[in-house]
A = this chain, B = another copy of it.
Amino acid sequence: MISTDILGRVRVVLSHPSHPGNIGAAARAMKTMGLSQLVLVNPKRFPDAEASARAAGADDILASAKVCTDLDEALAGSVFAVAVTARRRDLGPPSLAAREAAPVLLSHADAGPVSLLFGNETAGLSNAEVQRCQRCAHIASAPDFSSLNLGAAVQVLCYELRLSAFAGVPPTVTPTTPFSSPVATLDETERFYAHLERVMIDTGFHDPRQPKRLLPKLRRLFGRAGLERDEVNILRGILDAVERRLPR
Q: So how many copies of this chain end up in the complex?
A: 2
Min Cβ gap A20→B in Å is 14
Known: A203-B245, A224-B178, A241-B204. A32 touches B159 (CB 8 A): no
Residues of B with C-beta under 8 A to A168: 99
The reply to whether B241 and A148 form a contact with Cβ atoms under 8 Å apart is no
Q: Roughly how many angstroms separate A234 CA and B91 CA in the complex, as a whole number? A: 15
A151 within 8 A of B: yes
The reply to whether B166 and A241 form a contact with Cβ atoms under 8 Å apart is no
A124 within 8 A of B: no
The reply to whether B217 and A230 form a contact with Cβ atoms under 8 Å apart is yes
In the complex, residue of chain B having the shortest beta-carbon distance to the beta carbon of A217:
B234
The reply to whether B224 and A226 form a contact with Cβ atoms under 8 Å apart is yes
Please provide the 10 A-B residue pairs with the shortest distance between their CB atoms, ordered closest to farther: A205-B241, A225-B225, A140-B170, A203-B241, A34-B142, A152-B155, A94-B178, A224-B225, A31-B145, A32-B141
